[in-house]
Amino acid sequence: MQIDLSGRTALVTGSTQGIGEAIAVGLARAGAHVVVNGRNQERVAEAVHAVRAASGSDEVTGAAGDLATEDGTAAVLEAAPAVDILVNSLGIFGSAAPLEIDDAEWRRYFEVNVLSAVRLIRAYLPAMKEKGWGRVLNIASDSAVVIPAEMIHYGMTKTSLLAVSRGFAKDAAGTGVTVNSVIAGPTHTGGVEDFVRELVGDDLPWDEAQHEFMVRHRPQSLLQRLIEPEEIANMVVYLASPLASATTGGALRADGGYVDSILP
């Protein structure tokens, strides 16, 4: 399939590393003008350079701002006042004993993982609808469906994103704008490496530690390995393209077969 996103502008939140950065690279390779986002201006500048180098495209700019805050969101909207493709990839995660998660932590996870996406959808969706074309993609997780006992607060936010995606897809019905979520499975990022080490320790070499983690903590995976960020990005680039015009309101899986159901 030939995917051409020339002439389209895409904002990818939380794209200074990991899945978000891989998505930014994939969209830039497909010809989109990509806006990289992170909280820190220096990190954003570094990521812009990295995405340009990896994609071979100069059509990459940055918009620094903490999207968990109204002020940070305003700064990003000023830098990128209109987009054709919005990818809400920003997210935090971590393990915690379920009964020890306090109110402040529940709120922090909701602010970062859910409300940041809602604010941007509210800001960008009206113009997409008026134009008659747009793509909104929310990066969810297998944890939205298979809630991990050690990450209930994280799983809650990803379940919320499925509802947010479905609801805004209905708001955009018949306009040419599609809204979808992507259920990403356990993915190999720097943050996940740290998480794996938290659960299995530092004694094993990485390949053995990864295998131990998957067998002990994620045995449902049919891949039996961590997914590479580029594999998530491939799904996002397709859904951002005109080829996915009949797919909306969906929860599309790039989870390595982790969710044990035929339908999401």
Is position 238 annotated as part of the catalytic site?
Answer: no
Angle at Cα 250 formed by Cα 247 and Cα 251, nearest 5°?
135
Report CA 3 to chain centroid distance, whole Å: 20
E-assigned strands of the chain? 9-12, 33-38, 60-64, 85-88, 134-141, 177-184, 251-254
Angle at Cα 133 formed by Cα 244 and Cα 121, nearest 5°?
95
109, 124, 154, 258: the catalytic one is: 154
Cβ contact 189:229 at 8 Å: yes
Strand-pair partners of 253: 183
Q: Which residues are catalytic?
A: 154
